[in-house]
Structure 1
Amino acid sequence: MIRFLALMTRPLMQRLLVCLALAVLPWSARAFSLNDLQLQLRATPIVRGHFVQQKFLRSLPQPLTSRGDFTLATGRGLLWLLRSPIAQDLRISADGIARRGPDGTWQALPQHTGAGRENRLFLSVLAGDTSGLRENFDLTLTGDAGAWQLMLQPRSVLLRQIFDNIQINGGKLVDRIELREVQGDRSVLQMTDAVAADALTPEEQRAFAD
């Protein structure tokens, strides 16, 4: 009798394990969502690091390359400190772009039509602001919290005339952004040695305050 019950129980246990596995699979697929990504990136409101930016133009055999340092502060903006091929300090925010002059003061740069939207887009991409990105793009997120990829497909007619797609890769922080343009040019931005910080330095505070 005991042996009979054991034989009857084994298939039931197998079916139970299969059901549990099927129940876990959809949960695993949903485990890392766009909201999770946004929360993960917002957990580090201040990020510093180095960057290498390459612009691949169809008309040039070699990419245009620039290097420098950056500080991204949620709610403040981005300090983009070029070190090569020229030295130039830029501050990018939702209000526009400013350049630091030789005397240390910041001067707003003229903006062409649509520049404000482009600035907000750039900041949203770097900060992983998925709610802001959803306004203009269809988002597809793959991977997990340790290694993810976010694909942006433009929705509006205007953006579809500029971008084919934008691909963002990262882990705890964003580490690579690739912008593919409709005409075939593309830009690749890589952030290296990025670290989270709890507070701005005095110099950074002055730069964002001016």
Structure 2
Amino acid sequence: MVASLVLLGFSSLANAFDLQQLSDQLAKPSVIHGNFIQEKHLRALPQPLTSKGTFVLARDHGLLWLLKTPLQQDYRISAKGIARRDGSAWQMLPGKSAGAEQNRIFLAVLQGDSSGLQRDFELSLSGEAQHWTLTLTPRSMLLKQVFNQINIDGGELVQRIELLETQGDSTVLRMQDTTSANPLSDAEQHDFAE
């Protein structure tokens, strides 16, 4: 049995899609634009809470998360933290919240930062470059209190993220109409620069 597994491992080694290849693939585009649909499934509610919007992921700057419905709210997530647009200015949000940790993880996922994720999660990758699934299982007690697991599916780019929480709630995030063909607009550059 072990010998056949070893042989199988060696025979597929040349074709295996690994974490480094996934990281390289996700880190390649300098700018990604797209739409998102987020469904928050709460045990107490029969229907999920759904929000929609657009996003801009810029490798050297971070993420603009522009919520359109059910309410309009813009967020900027970067290495400095999370900021929310308040009128024409960005206001930094407190950094020691569960939401801040979720957003840090989210940014690492979208940017293909597997080394950052490996600090906090056991990573299990299956599939190939154009159709893969990455499963994150929390390592730390803090994250184990929040998440059972995180499932990420994609192709060239991330397409779906599912957060399974310990209390039975879950969030499904679908990234749609993503493209890496367009550079940052002047307005997006301004939003990242503030």
TM-score normalised over the length of structure 2: 0.90
- 2:179 paired with 1:179: no
Matched, 1:95 2:80: yes
Greater displacement, 119-128 / 178-187: 119-128
Where does residue 12 of structure 2 map in the other structure? 26
1:204 corresponds to which residue? 188
Counterpart check, 1:76 vs 2:61 = yes
Q: Decide which structure has the larger Cα Rg and report it.
A: 1
The residue matched to 1:143 in structure 2 has which SS? Answer: strand
Output one character per residue of 1:59-104: Cα deviation in whole Å (capped at 9) or x when no partner: 00000000000001113111000110011111111222111122x2
Alpha-carbon contact 1:128-1:174 (below 8 Å) kept: no
Aligned partner of 2:133 in structure 1 is 149
Structure 2 CA distance for aligned equivalents of residues 120 and 22 of structure 1: 37
Q: Which runs of 5+ in 1 are unaligned?
A: 1-20
Report the CA distance between 1:119 and its aligned residue.
3.0
Structure 2 spans left out of the alignment, 5+ residues: 1-6
Instruction: Give the match for residue 4 of structure 2.
Output: none
Q: Distance in 2 between matches of 1:140 and 1:23?
A: 16
Q: Is the 8 A contact 1:95 1:116 kept in 2?
A: no
Q: Offset of 1:199 from its aligned partner?
A: 2.5
Tell me the alpha carbon deviations over residues 40-66 of structure 1, each in whole angstroms, 9 at most, x when there is no partner. Answer: 111112100000000000000000000
Percentage of pairs with the same residue: 51
Q: Which residue of 1 aligns with 2:21?
A: 36
- Letter aligned with residue 27 of structure 1: L
Which residue number in structure 2 is paired with residue 3 of structure 1? none
Task: Answer whether contact 1:94 1:119 (CA < 8 A) is retained.
Answer: no
Q: 1:87 to 1:25 in 2, by over 3 A?
A: same
Quote how far apart the aligned CAs of 1:115 are: 5.3
Whole-Å separation in 2 of the counterparts to 1:22 and 1:116: 42
